[in-house]
Structure 1
């Protein structure tokens, strides 16, 4: 199976360790991962802000770049949802590629059939189901099943887990006060969980939650799910 990594703009520019974690994890499971350098933005930001025509060239470029691969893995539920749900509607030529795009936990559980990835992460962790993973991709229990299988990890319940963190892409810019208030509520829930670490399938949401946690001096770290699953006794934790 020929596998490609779709890193996404946010991860590429701000959280490159997440992409490296995906490659490290899949290599440990016996799979080579290619990184097509022609990849660019999936167009989600443009579409969500009302520039549908402006994102059409990005959709075509995505389809052309990833067409040769059997599977495309991304550490972003929001971008995976954009590709699968919107790309075929924007350009029918994207239809053959869109179903091959998988958020990481979908790929591990549904495609590879793996639950225990051999990870070791001795921390108390809360999982935040991001809106796109929860409502569009409907990843369900997949991330939790993977986390429960991690050696040393103490998975704690996050109160009101299905509540939005308030990021919402450009929503956080256009509606800053509302976004910040939602972030405060989510941070309070994280603190109430007693977790040392909060993880999710999107670094965008973790960035928003982490900013609030840092400002209130909670000490809780935000870590992408991929980095937890890639951690071993010998590697980063």
Structure 2
């Protein structure tokens, strides 16, 4: 990681896929879209179904021992790969910044895990994405990706490669969506109000689609939008890059 690259991937490298719980259980279409994008860019990918949660829910609730146990299981599965890619900055941040402290003997594996956009940007693969999406979208930049991974520039670079796409960054683009894992459960009124603030700005701008590289943020915003009967669409960056106008699979 010292050179800022995700490992110097060669044609022989098999890229491991880390599919976070939210994607696996609620939006598997995002995982399918990520596979399409990576393969289109020339990468060989593999998914091991034995992988587990990264341990973030337990860690956020103060249960470090349980988080370490779950994290160790995940790292054991991912240790077979030289590079691992996930469609979530939140889970990648947990693996890269928290698990090395909880599972220090597996710190080397933690450093091989990358968020999708930063992987594509680091490997200089944006020119191979070959995506088209006509229209304007409002970008939501997730907290962990923005502030811990510091990968906002990678997201912008990836989206800039999409033909016909106009990305609009509203004043609230970098504001929290109000999800925050257990935060949304413990403070539902505040969580909903935070989401509504973002959604109101999008509606006032005359934009009907919100795009983000984080599935949990999209789920939060979509649930609040549905409750308010707002005519908005929500797409993960991977879906947009894959050209998926509608979900590839039905979620929950």
Please tell me whether the aligned partners of residues 60 and 93 of structure 1 are also in contact (alpha carbons under 8 angstroms).
Answer: no
Partners of 1:194 and 1:136 lie apart in 2 by 31
> SS in structure 1 opposite 2:118?
helix
Of the three residues 67, 76, 88, the one matched with 1:55 is 67
Partners of 1:97 and 1:81 lie apart in 2 by 13
User: Equivalent residue for 2:200?
Assistant: 188
Please tell me whether the aligned partners of residues 178 and 191 of structure 2 are also in contact (alpha carbons under 8 angstroms).
Answer: yes
Of the three residues 32, 40, 44, the one matched with 1:20 is 32
1:160 CA drift (Å): 2.1
1:115 CA drift (Å): 2.2
User: Equivalent residue for 1:10?
Assistant: 22
User: Equivalent residue for 1:100?
Assistant: 112
What do you get for the CA RMSD once the two structures are aligned? Answer: 1.6
1:60-116 deviations in Å (ceiling 9; x for gaps): 111211111111000011000000000010011220111110000010001x21223
Scaled by the length of structure 1, what TM-score is found?
A: 0.94
Could you say which structure has the greater relative contact order, defined with CA pairs below 8 angstroms and 6 or more residues apart?
2
Please tell me whether the aligned partners of residues 202 and 208 of structure 2 are also in contact (alpha carbons under 8 angstroms).
Answer: no
- Say how many residue pairs are matched: 234
1:162 CA drift (Å): 1.5
Partners of 1:191 and 1:134 lie apart in 2 by 23
User: Equivalent residue for 1:159?
Assistant: 171
User: Equivalent residue for 1:209?
Assistant: 221
Partners of 2:205 and 2:80 lie apart in 1 by 44
Scaled by the length of structure 2, what TM-score is found?
A: 0.89
Partners of 1:75 and 1:47 lie apart in 2 by 20
Partners of 1:142 and 1:191 lie apart in 2 by 26
Partners of 1:232 and 1:219 lie apart in 2 by 19
> SS in structure 2 opposite 1:113?
coil
**In the TM superposition, what are the counterparts of 1:50-89 in structure 2 within 5 Å?**
50-89=62-101
Unpaired segments ≥5 residues, structure 1: none
Partners of 1:72 and 1:44 lie apart in 2 by 18
1:197-227 deviations in Å (ceiling 9; x for gaps): 1111111011111112222232110110111
1:232 CA drift (Å): 7.5
Partners of 1:40 and 1:232 lie apart in 2 by 27
Partners of 1:60 and 1:79 lie apart in 2 by 14
Please tell me whether the aligned partners of residues 156 and 193 of structure 1 are also in contact (alpha carbons under 8 angstroms).
Answer: no
Deviates more, 1:88-97 or 1:208-217: 208-217
